[in-house]
Structure 1
Amino acid sequence: MQLQQLTYFLGVARTQHFTRAADELGVAQPSLSKQIRVLEDELGAPLFSRARGNITLTPAGEALLPLANRILADVDTARLEVQELVGLRHGRVRLGATPSLCSGLLADTLRRFHDSYPGIRLLVEEGGSRDLVRQLTRGELDLALVILPLPEDTPLATTPILRDDLVVAARRDDPTLSGRTHLHITDLRDRPLVMFRQGYDLREATLGACRAAGFEPRFAVEGGEMDAVLRFVEVGLGVAVVPSTVLAGRPGLQGIPLPGLHRTVALAHRKDVAPTHAAGAFRATLESFLRESAADGTLPVGVEAVSGRAAAGIGHGS
């Protein structure tokens, strides 16, 4: 099995067309088709169904797809790491983070890292925690800031770095919440909720807390990203459970605490691949930034640095 064959396989899987894949890869279509056949012969199974001109993956192709993606991602990482060591390039960090972190602490950390290592390229992928876990597992990211707990069989190593409180985001002029200094999850029983899309840890946190309290939440609208969810709350569609840090710069919203409801953020990487030197430098920068911010009291309200401590993940209590 050759890396070139895997590249050709992924090209056809992506385009669902042999000729288009050959054009994208800059290779003659007969040569690409021949290498795919050689790969199929070696594996002992067809990878594509070619019925009536429609190119689709067979079960064997579906099984190979995530493995081929991961193999080629690892090869790319290895190439960059070696080039970094011999001085040909300065390196690259592919970092995944949730929208709430991108709009808060992460921006300051990225600035510090860029000032210290201006030659290292920073590629930030924004998404829900579950989406980031899948991307990290497939080798598409070097590091990711994810929400604990992860599944027990995860191939990722995690280090807890901070814990932030969850609050109910509501319009500041909502007369039904006037004077409320805190809410219990049961107070959401009859309120319409603005709900995040699938893949967001906040969706699972909200649903889990409501169900543990014995009720199913009522959705006014669902399927949004962070900015959309907050905007939907601003126009009065409902309330949402969010980290306290995302409400900065939104004067029309208030955050009402939900005592005991929090989430733990961890820095994750794959267990089977050592982080690159550039990724290691970013991790050190992040941990240093959090330690210093905790020491001088500049962490946002509701955020606590927990690096080096055991983490309980999303839940109630401490």
Structure 2
Amino acid sequence: MTLKQLIYFLAVADTGRFVQAAADVRIAQPTLSRQVQALEDDLGETLFTRGRDHVTLTSAGETLLPLARRIVADVETARLEIAELANLRRGRLRLGATPSLCVSVVADVLAVFHDSYPGVSLQISEGGSQDLVADLEDGQLDLALVIHQPDRPTPGPAGSGAPRGRIGATGTGSALGLTPVLREELVAISATAGSTPLDEVLGDHAGIAEIARHPLVLNRPGYELREAVLSACAAAGVTPRIAVEGGEMDAVLRMVERGLGVAIVPSLVLAGRTGLHTTRLDGTGWTHRTIVLAHRTDVAPTRAAEAFRETLLAVLARTSRTGGLPPGVRFIHPSS
């Protein structure tokens, strides 16, 4: 039994004539007759009583009729739903992003994406780059906006002792696809003068050794930023004094505003934070970092993922042209 045979059976049942049914489904009448005969042979029952110029359903045909209608209708529904999915009237996007991006550009991009594709459900995971790469590798995300540091390995879970490889490669050895989108500057922040208990207020520029003399507020393990700060301190031969550790980005900013210490953060997160003093960092390499859109290359991207990538690049390009990116941030996609 095939779908075409059921369609031809319904055409004959609806018209009562083989010639008219063949014209309706746009095939030759002998072909339609052979297909209906093949269906009868497969079922072992005669479906029509043939008259000179008209046919009627047998009891077997009457039994098959509602079943055939439902099968054909279900197939049409499936086709329509898949077409809606392909045209992004429905679907799902699972996006991971670092906290600094979630509180800045991601919300703007998602607003544009949702306006264009309101039927696509959005699932957002916020976390450090290392955690997001692990989720991407495990198939829990479609895309991830992460920090790309090709010279710094991505360690495994705390205490596991197992490396996860680099952000450019998955644990199974198949590379992730990386699309560079932004280059951002890291800055030191402290509470504004008059509201900080620090012995010495940071100036406009400072090196990591000077910053490490102050108590530090650090993100929890799993954040690439935390590893960058600790690595810079180690390279400078200084031991940081950690005042508070373990917070998400919003918590770190608030703790610095309350004078608990200084922190090193991406310049992206400082929009509207008037209670913070910004200090540019002296040094090379670690003071700037690249944000990439990562995806697995061992599976085909979904239509929703492809549409989000296009929307992200378009929004960032427009924001860059109009001067809307924060100081210290620039759009770097190769096509720009």
Normalising by structure 2, we get a TM-score of 0.64
CA deviation vs aligned residue, 1:124-150 (integer Å, no higher than 9, x gap): 111111110011111101000011025
CA deviation vs aligned residue, 1:273-301 (integer Å, no higher than 9, x gap): 11101110000000011111122221111
Taking the TM superposition and a 5 Å limit, the aligned residue runs for 1:29-68 are none
Q: Which sections of structure 1, spanning at least 5 residues, go unmatched?
A: 1-80, 310-318
Taking the TM superposition and a 5 Å limit, the aligned residue runs for 1:25-174 are 84-85=84-85, 90-149=90-149, 151=166, 153-154=169-170, 155=174, 156-173=176-193, 174=196
Q: Percent identity?
A: 55
1:228 counterpart = 2:251:
yes
Taking the TM superposition and a 5 Å limit, the aligned residue runs for 1:206-221 are 206-221=229-244
2:256/2:262 contact within 8 Å kept: yes
1:247/1:254 contact within 8 Å kept: no
The aligned counterpart of 2:331 is 305
Give 3-state SS (helix, strand or coil) of 2:205's partner.
Answer: coil
2:204/2:280 contact within 8 Å kept: yes
Change beyond 3 A, Cα 1:88–1:187? closer
Which letter does structure 1 place at the counterpart of 2:144?
A
Which letter does structure 2 place at the counterpart of 1:195?
L
Which letter does structure 1 place at the counterpart of 2:97?
A
1:251 counterpart = 2:250:
no
What number of residue pairs does the alignment pair up? 229
Q: Distance in 2 between matches of 1:87 and 1:147?
A: 31
Shift >3 Å, 4+ stretches: 81-89, 174-179
The alpha-carbon deviation at position 84 of structure 1 amounts to: 4.9
The more displaced of 275-284 and 184-193 is 184-193
Give 3-state SS (helix, strand or coil) of 1:198's partner.
Answer: coil
The aligned counterpart of 2:290 is 264
Normalising by structure 1, we get a TM-score of 0.67
Q: Which sections of structure 2, spanning at least 5 residues, go unmatched?
A: 1-80, 151-165
CA deviation vs aligned residue, 1:260-285 (integer Å, no higher than 9, x gap): 41111100011101110111000000
The aligned counterpart of 2:317 is 291
1:97/1:144 contact within 8 Å kept: yes
Give 3-state SS (helix, strand or coil) of 2:222's partner.
Answer: coil
Q: Distance in 1 between matches of 2:141 and 2:323?
A: 31
The more displaced of 153-162 and 177-186 is 177-186
| Bigger Cα Rg | 2
The aligned counterpart of 1:189 is 212
Give 3-state SS (helix, strand or coil) of 1:107's partner.
Answer: helix
The alpha-carbon deviation at position 93 of structure 1 amounts to: 0.6
Change beyond 3 A, Cα 1:218–1:178? closer
Q: Distance in 2 between matches of 1:230 and 1:305?
A: 24
Q: Distance in 2 between matches of 1:104 and 1:223?
A: 21
The more displaced of 267-276 and 213-222 is 213-222
Q: Distance in 1 between matches of 2:109 and 2:204?
A: 32
Change beyond 3 A, Cα 1:122–1:169? same
Task: Choose the corresponding residue for 1:280, options 290, 306, 328.
Answer: 306
Q: Distance in 2 between matches of 1:291 and 1:91?
A: 26
